[in-house]
Amino acid sequence: MTELTTRASSINRALDQIGDKWCLLILQEVFWGVNSFGGLLQETGISRGVLSNRLKWLQDHDCLRRRGSTRYPRYHLTRKSVDLYHNALMAVVWEDRHFDTPEIQAVRLVHRNCGKSFVPLMVCGCCQQAVDGREVSYLPGPGAQQDVRGKKVRRRSSVSAHEVPSERQVYRNLINLVGDRWTANLIALAFHDLHRFDEFHRELPVATNILSDRMRFLVEEGIFETRPYQQRPLRHAYHLTGKGWDLFPWFLTLLHWGDRWCDPTGAGPPMKLIHATCKQPLHGQVVCDQCDDEVRPDEVGFSIHNVAEYSATGS
C-alpha cells in the first residue's frame, strides 16, 4: 500500500478508522440494536465477505466487541463507539434539514431529563451559543505534526447507501457523502478557507483524477459551488454552500472523537479551535433544545412508527 504525508488532523485519523460507507452503516445498525451477523447481513444488504471484513476492521479498532458463540456471534458497542453518539445525532439533524427522509420524520427523540421531544443542538461549551463553522478560527495544537497515511485503504464503493434495505438508515445521504474518506477530507479542508484546486491538492496530495472526481461529486451534491476567479484560462474556486456549512457540527463531533480516541502519539490535539463569539477555545456540546442540558446516550429514548420506546444505544 502506498503512503502519503498530510498535516496531522484528528478528523483525518477518525476517517481512516471509520470513514468507510459500510463501517458507518454497520455502526448505525448496532446503535439501533441489530447486532447479530445474520441481522447485519439482512439489514445492510452487503455481501458476507465485505461484512466479515468490516466487522473485523471495527473490532481491530476497538469500535465493536464480539461476544457469544463462534456460530452465533453478537457484536456490541464499546466505550469508543458509544462516544460517537453525538456524531450520529448531528448526522440526523443535517439529514432532516436538507432532505425529505420519512425514516427520520418517523423517529421521535425524547430527553428523559425534561420529558420532552427535542431536536439536538450543537452549542459552544463556553458561551452556550449555537455553533456556526464560519465563526471558528484555527491554531496549531500541541500535537501539530505530519501524519503518514495509506493512500488507498479500499476502493470507493459503487453501491449507494440508498440501496441498503434497512428502514433504520436515517442518514443515508450523509453516508453517501462522507463514506469515502477523500470526499470527507475535502469538506473538512474547506472549513479552513481553502478554495482552489491546487490548495486542496497541496493538503491532500492524491492523484489529480481522484481529486477532480471528488470535487465534481461535491458540486453535484450541492456541498460546493463554483465561482470563477480567473478568465484566461477560465478557472473556478470551490466554496461551501449553506448545505455544506451545515455539516460543520457533524465534523466537529468527529474531531472531538478523533482527539480522544485516535491519537497514536499521545501528544495531544493537532489543532485548537477558537470560537469567535466568546474568543475562547471551542468544545462543542450537543444539548436538548427544550431544556438546554447536554444530551447523553443513556438519557435519550426514541420511538419509531409509534412502536414502544427503546434505549438510544440499542441496549
Instruction: Tell me the whole-structure pTM to 2 decimals.
Output: 0.91
At 200, list the grid cell. 486542496
pLDDT in tens, 270-285: 999 999 999 999 999 9
- Average pLDDT on 79-98 reads 95
Query: What pLDDT does 154 receive?
Result: 44
Q: How far apart are the first and last CA of the chain?
A: 38
Contact 280, 127 (CB under 8 A): yes
pLDDT in tens, 213-248: 999 999 999 999 999 988 888 899 999 999 999 999
Query: H helices within the chain, ranges in order?
Result: 10-18, 21-31, 37-44, 48-60, 79-82, 85-98, 102-105, 172-178, 181-190, 197-203, 208-220, 242-245, 248-261
pLDDT in tens, 126-148: 999 999 999 999 999 999 998 88
To the nearest whole percent, how much of the chain has pLDDT over 90? 72
Q: How far is CA 175 from CA 5, 104, 281, in A?
A: 26, 14, 29
Q: Which has the closest alpha carbon to 31: 80, 85, 67, 68?
A: 85
